[in-house]
Every structure is written in C-alpha cells, then in structure tokens.
Chain A
Amino acid sequence: MLASSGLVAQNIAFGIVALMMVVGALRVVTSKNVVHAALWLVLVLAGAAAQYIILSAEFVAVTQVLVYIGAVTVLFLFGTMLTRAQLGKAKDLNNKNWALGIPVALLVLGTLVYVLIDTFGDDKVVDNPGDVPNVPVQAISDSIFKPYLLPFWALSFVLLAALVGAIVLARKD
C-alpha cells in the first residue's frame, strides 16, 4: 500500500498521526479523570489538524487549532471546573450499563468499514502523486461568500442564538 500509492512520506506521517489520534480518542472515552480526558481530546484535535495539513487544507487546519484547541478545550476545562468540586479521579464517570456501548460501537464500525471498503476500495486521493491540488484561501472565501452565502447567514444566526442562549441559561437571576 505504501509504495504503490506514491507519496510515501505523507503515508508514514498519516500512520503515525492516525495511531496517535486513535489512542487519544480511546483515552478520552476511558479516562477516569475529566481533566485528563480533556487533555487527551487536545491530542486528537491536534492530530486532526495535522491530517488536514497532509490533505493540503491549511486554512481548515489553522481554524481547527484556533477554534477547537484554543477555545473549545478551554470551555471544557471551565465546564469541568464549574461543575465539579474535586478535579481528581472519580469512580462514577460511566453508566451502569456502559458495556452496552461496546457492541453498538463495534456494529457501527463494522458497517462503516464494510461500506467504505466496498465502495472506495483502492481509490487514491490524487491519481498522480505529482499534482496534489492546492486550495488557496481565496478560493475558500469565494466559496463562502458566493455559492454558500445563505448557510453562512444561517450560521451567523446560530452563533448569535447560541451566544444569547448561553448567557440566558447560565446567568444567575
């Protein structure tokens, strides 16, 4: 697989980062400490940013670092701080019937893997390793402000509603 599809360096980088992300994601859902789970989540998000760079999506990678690692993680840590007195280990982070999640997740994974391998098989991301397309930021802004302007407006209202809603919910009367 490595040699046949070209772009060997990218494939090695993908493998290392993908392993890192899967281990981090497993630690997010199994960790006994909420703060540690948030920090493992940072590893997964940073790995996703690295994958976006491998896929030549630099602008999305930078946004991922700014929004997810910079803002969302801080929100999670604040949420942990404000809702729990002790920050250390906790025994009761899982449901009583948590084991039910394992067959469900395996079923989802099995279905997805079967469908993906059946559909895409050995399709390559780029046919010719020499011409990996470059997506300039200008093209992304043209895409946002021309054909997808309406979802952009809708998104602006979603953010406004989320801002007002969060203040209304969280303030003490």
Chain B
Amino acid sequence: MLVNQFLLLGAVLFAIGVYGVIARKNAVLVLMSIELILNAVNMNLIAFALRNGGDAAGHTFALYIIAVAAAEVGVGLALVLLVYRNRRSIALDELSEMKG
C-alpha cells in the first residue's frame, strides 16, 4: 500500500466536493458537497496516522472532525429551514440582499 493512493483518493474527493459547492444551487446539495470535502480530509488523517506507525493522534482528530461535521450539518440544515420558511425557496443565488 502506497501512502499516495489514499492521499490521491482524498484529493479526488476534495476536488469533486469543491465542484459541487460551486456548481450547486440547492443549499442541501451544497451541504452534501461540504461533507465530501470533510471526508477527504479524514482520509488523509487516517493514512498519515498509519504511516507514522499507528499514531492514535490521527484517529483522535479524525473523530473530532466527524463530530464537528455533525454539528455543522445540524446548524446548516436549521439555517436552510429558516431560509425556506422565510422565502419558500432554498436557491442560493436568490439570496442577494447583501449585494450593494
């Protein structure tokens, strides 16, 4: 097992997630793309943990990232729900009040 095969898989997932964040209009789909990006990061952390002789610190921070991602999805979907309730739409390109 090369360490690069896991890192390159993480890079591919990261790039796909970046594409999804830019291309998608639906806010729920943008949140899903952010999950792809966070998973790519976790893959790197676990690969490096094994490369450093089974370092438990890598696993610890992967677990922390999983917890932060869960919190982020909870707050993100609450925000999406609020936007939907106020505007009956979650299309992100219609939220332009902050444009001068």
Contacts and interface: CB of A to CB of B under 8 A. Distances in A.
Does chain A bind chain B?
yes
Interface of A: 1, 5-7, 10-11, 14, 18, 21-22, 25-26, 28-29, 34, 37-38, 41, 44-45, 48, 51-52, 54-57, 59-60, 63-64, 67-68, 71-72, 75-76, 78-80, 82-84, 90, 92-96, 98-102, 104-106, 108-109, 112-113, 116-117, 120-126, 132-135, 139-140, 142-144, 147-148, 151-152, 155, 158-159, 161-163, 165-167, 169-170, 172
Interface residues of B, number: 74
A10 B47 CA distance: 14
29 contacts: A25-B13, A34-B26, A45-B35, A48-B39, A56-B50, A60-B42, A60-B66, A67-B66, A67-B67, A68-B69, A76-B77, A83-B81, A84-B90, A93-B26, A94-B25, A96-B93, A99-B23, A101-B22, A112-B14, A116-B4, A121-B4, A122-B4, A135-B56, A135-B59, A143-B57, A143-B60, A158-B71, A162-B75, A172-B85
Contact of B46 (A60, A75, A105): A60
Contacts of A142: 56
A34 B51 contact: no
A71 B77 CA distance: 13
Given A29-B19, A51-B43, A55-B6, 12 more contacts: A22-B12, A55-B49, A60-B66, A67-B70, A82-B84, A98-B24, A102-B23, A109-B15, A123-B51, A125-B50, A148-B64, A158-B67
A133 B63 contact: no
B74 A144 contact: no
Interface string B62-96: 11101111111111011111101100001111000
B23 A98 contact: yes
